[in-house]
Amino acid sequence: MGKIIVTGASGSFGGAAAELLLAACAPEDLILLSRTPAKLAHFAQRGADVRHADFDDPATLAAAMRGGERMLLISTARVGSRVGQHRNAVEAAVAQGVRHIVYTSLISADQPDNPAIVKNDHRATEEIIEASGAQWTHLRDSQYAEAVATAMAIPALLSGHKPDNCGDGKVGFVSRDDCVATAASVLTQDGHGNCAYDITGPDLISIPEAMAMVTELSGKPITVEQVDDEAMFAYFDSLGVPRHASDIMPEGPIPWSSDDMVTFGQSIREGYFGRLSDTVERITGRKPKSLREVMIAHQAAWPV
């Protein structure tokens, strides 16, 4: 099968993928990359090949990629600047002989009219990989159920109120665990070359329906206020969220921008997230978790 590279292995997705791959591969066949390799010492102790890699510094990448055959390219964090980082990683990987690149993309990334600005980064990266000469697999993940169960549910429970610009748009919320399991399976199976997969959970659910589920499980009422995009910008302004990715302070307290979030909501409202697929079960052999299951798993973090 050859050696597998996991980028961003000190992140939550990469670390979870590394754990699954260690159960499926010989540890010496796993190359784990991070800007902070000291955070991967526990994997090195188990025999994985831990290497330093900084996508902003191409000089670090030839040695980092050497010997790999397949690579999981986990999208980096910064909307607006990550395409250059991804290009550096792809070019270095292919130059060192990587033959198959699996990329964590976004559902409907290939839809030209999709208004979510985050789509632009993902589709640009997909095109870079497609033109690289390597085989490719695009894993187009839906919105994470964990984000709804924590980052969305907790503030809504604290205030009893949630402004929202998603309307009644439906989302196939998917557990990050299922996205990780799908990625690990693709890396260790054959037959996924030059394929794009939607990665979704089992149900299509709107944000108001999701908040009603939080109310049902918690016993605390949440009022969802349907607002337009301008009102959503004003809400994020009131929280001190920067409007644009270019305004984000490096290492600052808020790593995302409101134009990212508002256009994401617009994309949901206009139906670009309203897709279901059987990819998780077909590739991993297990049924995907429902949003309710994920919420119940995170209920202990909810305010009482």
Whether 130 and 17 map to the same domain: the answer is yes
Q: Is 45 helix (H, G, I), strand (E, B) or coil?
A: coil
Report the greatest alpha carbon distance in the chain: 56
Quote the domain boundaries for residue 80: 3-142+175-199
Whether 237 and 186 map to the same domain: the answer is no
Radius of gyration of the chain (CA): 19
Looking at residue 251, its pLDDT comes to 66
Whether 135 and 254 map to the same domain: the answer is no
Confidence class for position 81, pLDDT limits 50, 70, 90: confident
Confidence class for position 159, pLDDT limits 50, 70, 90: very high
The structure tokens listed for 239 are 């929280």
| Residue 211 belongs to some domain of the structure | yes
Percent of the chain beyond pLDDT 70?
97
Percent of the chain beyond pLDDT 90?
90
Give the residue-averaged pLDDT of 151-158.
95
Whether 26 and 84 map to the same domain: the answer is yes
| Residue 128 belongs to some domain of the structure | yes
Beta-strand ranges (E) seen in the chain are 3-6, 30-34, 49-52, 68-73, 100-106, 135-141, 161-164, 170-171, 195-199, 205-206, 223-226
Q: CA–CA separation, 51 vs 6, rounded Å?
A: 10
| Residue 282 belongs to some domain of the structure | no
Whether 7 and 24 map to the same domain: the answer is yes
Whether 109 and 251 map to the same domain: the answer is no
Using alpha carbons, select from 108, 110, 99, 115 the residue that is nearest to residue 67: 99
Give backbone dihedrals phi and psi of 76, rounded to 5 degrees, phi first.
-80, 175
| Residue 132 belongs to some domain of the structure | yes
pLDDT digits (tens, 9 = 90+) for 214-241: 999 999 999 999 999 999 999 989 888 8
pLDDT digits (tens, 9 = 90+) for 234-260: 998 988 888 987 777 766 666 678 999
Whether 164 and 209 map to the same domain: the answer is yes
Looking at residue 38, its pLDDT comes to 97
pLDDT digits (tens, 9 = 90+) for 259-304: 999 999 999 999 999 999 999 999 999 999 999 999 999 999 999 8
- The mean of the pLDDT values for the chain is 95
| Residue 279 belongs to some domain of the structure | no
The Cα-based distances of 59 to 6, 51, 62, 164, 284 in angstroms read: 18, 13, 7, 44, 36
Whether 231 and 95 map to the same domain: the answer is no
Whether 39 and 137 map to the same domain: the answer is yes
Residue 261: give its domain's CATH number.
3.90.25.10
Whether 58 and 181 map to the same domain: the answer is yes
Whole-prediction pTM: 0.96
The structure tokens listed for 208 are 């108001």
pLDDT digits (tens, 9 = 90+) for 179-225: 999 999 999 999 999 999 999 999 999 999 999 999 999 999 999 99
Whether 159 and 191 map to the same domain: the answer is no
Residue 184: give its domain's CATH number.
3.40.50.720
Number of domains into which the chain is organized: 2
Whether 96 and 153 map to the same domain: the answer is no
Side-chain-facing half-sphere of 43: CA atoms under 13 Å: 31
